Amino acid sequence: MRGWLSYISKVKTVEQQVEAYKQLKQQLTNYCAIKYINSLTKSAPP
């Protein structure tokens, strides 16, 4: 995330900024879609 914000702060045009925010939004969408397993819960016995 920090890398994207750094990139966005360095772009030269509004068009580049809009494109960078679109890519950031896609990355966040992908991140939020990741399923995870809570490793702190006990697993079922074998």
Is residue 42 in a domain?
no
Helix or strand (DSSP H, E) at 30: helix 14-32
| Region 21-25 average pLDDT | 93
Q: How confident is the prediction for the chain on average, in pLDDT? A: 84
Judge whether 27 lies within some domain.
yes
Output the CA torsion 13→18→20→24 (10° steps).
160
Residue 6 has pLDDT above 80, yes or no: yes
Instruction: Name the nearest CA neighbour of 25 among 4, 6, 3.
Output: 4
pLDDT value at 42 more than 80: no
Q: Is the pTM of this model over 0.75?
A: no
Instruction: Report the number of distinct structural domains present in the chain.
Output: 1
7 within a domain of the structure (yes/no): yes
- Whether residue 46 is contained in a domain is answered as no
pLDDT at 16 over 80: yes
In a domain, 38, yes or no: no
In a domain, 17, yes or no: yes
Look at phi and psi of residue 23 and say left if phi exceeds 0, alpha if psi is from -120 to 50, else beta. Answer: alpha
Q: Which domain holds residue 7?
A: 2-32
